[in-house]
């Protein structure tokens, strides 16, 4: 396919997205107004699945034992491009990560691509991926084989600046429980085993550990149970911690060091400790250079020029990292808020529904759709993307 033909297809995709812009933005605002946390995204996933089914996609709802996952397919055969939709919100903060924009830009990209999939050949899938903020829904989808047969995966995440190359940390989640023995805190303290003291010792041990780990690594958590009443020696305490590192190997090094801090709390107090690592560990993001450069050119077409080379700033973590380890993938960011606004904050949630958040829905949809057109129609790009991917897999 020559460049002019490809450009004409891209223009058609963008026009199709513009024609549905009001509907996409309305859906983004509706999801924003009804935030649902991980695994409970029943309304958001239903609205997205219904929109895509109504547009002519073949939709399967419920994947990998997750009722709020879905797959919407248009076209047939290879190559297959997947556009990923996230839609979970944060407890207490709502859409403070802007996943309403991820969801509707993915749907919009799918809608734009469906109008020309017979001309590009291959197929497009919009995959609804629940529980990104916790639990790692994509890890569950990968394990169930949902991503088998897909050539490339992409999504766009809202942020405080436009970026093509994302840096996301590998991340493991640890749940901690101490079991001690209740006793009257004044009358019989000598008979008690203090599960809260065990937790405080571990918390401080982690503060000490943090001084002697790589600067880019992160260990942080919250105590979710610290006892019931001041006159009872706490017989139970619980916490949830995240351990993050720039690469998967260093994360594996850190995990036993963090676990040792919690074991120390148990040893010091006599409380029994139970440590449970979430089996859905998040991998570091492996941005595919070939797709990223295609996205960079298309991002500029919607007025978002990101000069290369970039200095990626560390983000949090994403289960898109795991997808990027099994196939070529990208996770660019689109600015919806000024740099001083914190992600995962009520202010960021406000921006996710603001005019800039609304504009991001269609800008991201178009950049994704145009990049998918590149992948579907450019065999040289596909072989470069495969080569980049194989090379990245060779790096430990
Ligand atoms: Zn997010
Ligand atoms: Zn988030």
pLDDT of residue 3: 94
Q: What DSSP character marks residue 314?
A: B
- The C-alpha atoms of residue 109 and residue 371 are separated, in whole angstroms, by 10
User: Residues 273, 314: one domain?
Assistant: no
pLDDT of residue 84: 98
pLDDT of residue 396: 56
Cα–ligand 1 centroid distance for 66 (angstroms): 19
Cα–ligand 2 centroid distance for 133 (angstroms): 5
pLDDT in tens, the chain (396 residues): 899 999 999 999 999 999 999 999 999 999 999 999 999 999 999 999 999 999 999 999 999 999 999 999 999 999 999 999 999 999 999 999 999 999 999 999 999 999 999 999 999 999 999 999 999 999 999 999 999 999 999 999 999 999 999 889 999 999 999 999 999 999 999 999 999 999 999 999 999 999 999 999 999 999 999 999 999 999 999 999 999 999 999 999 999 999 999 999 999 999 999 999 999 999 999 999 999 999 999 999 999 999 999 988 767 899 999 999 999 999 999 999 999 999 999 999 999 999 999 999 999 999 999 999 999 999 999 999 999 999 998 765
Last residue of a domain, one of 213, 244, 277: 277
Cα–ligand 1 centroid distance for 124 (angstroms): 23
Q: Which ligand is nearest to the CA of 138?
A: 1
Report how far Cα 63 is from the mean position of its chain's Cα atoms.
Answer: 17
Q: Is the torsion defined by CA of 247, 250, 255, 260 positive or negative?
A: negative
User: Residues 314, 273: one domain?
Assistant: no
3-state secondary structure of 329: strand
Q: Which ligand is nearest to the CA of 100?
A: 1
Cα–ligand 1 centroid distance for 392 (angstroms): 24
Reference 37, options 116, 79, 78, 90; nearest CA is 90
Domain count, the chain: 2
Are 258 and 209 in contact by the 8 Å Cβ rule? The answer is yes
To which residue do tokens 């006793």 refer?
183
User: Residues 191, 110: one domain?
Assistant: no
Residues with CB under 5 A from ligand 2 (ion): 97
User: Residues 13, 136: one domain?
Assistant: yes
User: Residues 145, 190: one domain?
Assistant: no
| Residue 59 belongs to domain spanning | 3-168+283-394
Q: What DSSP character marks residue 108?
A: H
Cα–ligand 1 centroid distance for 240 (angstroms): 19
CATH code for the domain in which residue 9 is found = 3.40.630.10
Cα–ligand 2 centroid distance for 164 (angstroms): 18
User: Residues 148, 180: one domain?
Assistant: no
User: Residues 38, 120: one domain?
Assistant: yes
Cα–ligand 2 centroid distance for 224 (angstroms): 20
User: Residues 107, 163: one domain?
Assistant: yes
Last residue of a domain, one of 277, 297, 324: 277
pLDDT of residue 393: 87
User: Residues 321, 271: one domain?
Assistant: no
Last residue of a domain, one of 257, 277, 297: 277
CATH code for the domain in which residue 256 is found = 3.30.70.360
Cα–ligand 1 centroid distance for 378 (angstroms): 30
Q: Which ligand is nearest to the CA of 91?
A: 2
Cα–ligand 1 centroid distance for 171 (angstroms): 14
**∠ CA 131-134-139, rounded to 5°:** 65
pLDDT of residue 313: 77
User: Residues 86, 203: one domain?
Assistant: no
User: Residues 232, 342: one domain?
Assistant: no
- The C-alpha atoms of residue 146 and residue 137 are separated, in whole angstroms, by 11
User: Residues 35, 145: one domain?
Assistant: yes
Cα–ligand 1 centroid distance for 236 (angstroms): 32
């Amino acid at each position: 396919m020559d460049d002019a033909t490809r450009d004409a297809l891209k223009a058609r995709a963008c026009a199709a997205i513009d024609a549905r812009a009001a509907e996409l933005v309305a859906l983004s605002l509706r999801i924003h107004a009804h935030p649902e946390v991980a695994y409970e995204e029943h309304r958001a996933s239903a609205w997205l699945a219904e929109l895509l089914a109504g547009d002519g996609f073949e939709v399967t709802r419920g994947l990998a034992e997750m009722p709020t996952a879905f797959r919407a397919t248009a076209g047939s055969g290879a190559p297959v491009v997947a556009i990923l939709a996230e839609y979970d919100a944060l407890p207490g903060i709502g859409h403070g990560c802007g996943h309403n924009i991820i969801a509707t830009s993915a749907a919009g990209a799918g809608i734009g691509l469906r109008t020309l999939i017979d001309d590009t050949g291959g197929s497009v899938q919009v995959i609804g991926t629940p529980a990104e903020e916790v639990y790692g829904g994509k890890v569950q989808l990968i394990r169930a084989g949902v991503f088998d047969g897909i050539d490339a995966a992409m999504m766009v995440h809202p942020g405080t600046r436009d970026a093509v190359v994302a840096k996301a940390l590998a991340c493991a989640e640890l749940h901690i429980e101490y079991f001690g023995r209740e006793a009257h805190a004044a009358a019989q303290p000598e008979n008690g085993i203090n599960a809260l003291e065990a937790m405080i010792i571990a918390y401080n041990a982690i503060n000490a550990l943090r001084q002697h780990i790589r600067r880019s690594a992160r260990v942080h958590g919250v105590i979710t149970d610290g006892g019931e009443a001041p006159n009872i020696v706490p017989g139970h305490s619980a916490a949830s911690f995240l351990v993050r590192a720039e690469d998967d190997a260093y994360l594996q090094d850190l995990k036993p060091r963090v676990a040792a801090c919690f074991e120390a709390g148990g040893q010091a107090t006599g409380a029994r400790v139970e440590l449970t690592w979430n089996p859905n560990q998040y991998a570091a993001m492996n941005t595919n250079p070939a797709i990223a450069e295609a996205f960079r050119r298309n991002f500029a077409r919607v007025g978002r020029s990101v000069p290369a080379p970039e200095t990626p700033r560390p983000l949090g973590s994403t289960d898109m990292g795991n997808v990027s380890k099994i196939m070529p993938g990208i996770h660019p960011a689109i600015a919806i808020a000024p740099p001083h606004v914190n992600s995962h904050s009520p202010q960021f949630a406000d921006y996710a529904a603001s005019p800039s958040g609304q504009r991001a829905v269609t800008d991201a949809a178009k950049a994704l759709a145009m990049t998918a057109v590149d992948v579907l129609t450019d065999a040289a790009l596909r072989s470069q993307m495969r080569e980049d991917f194989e090379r990245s897999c060779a790096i430990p």
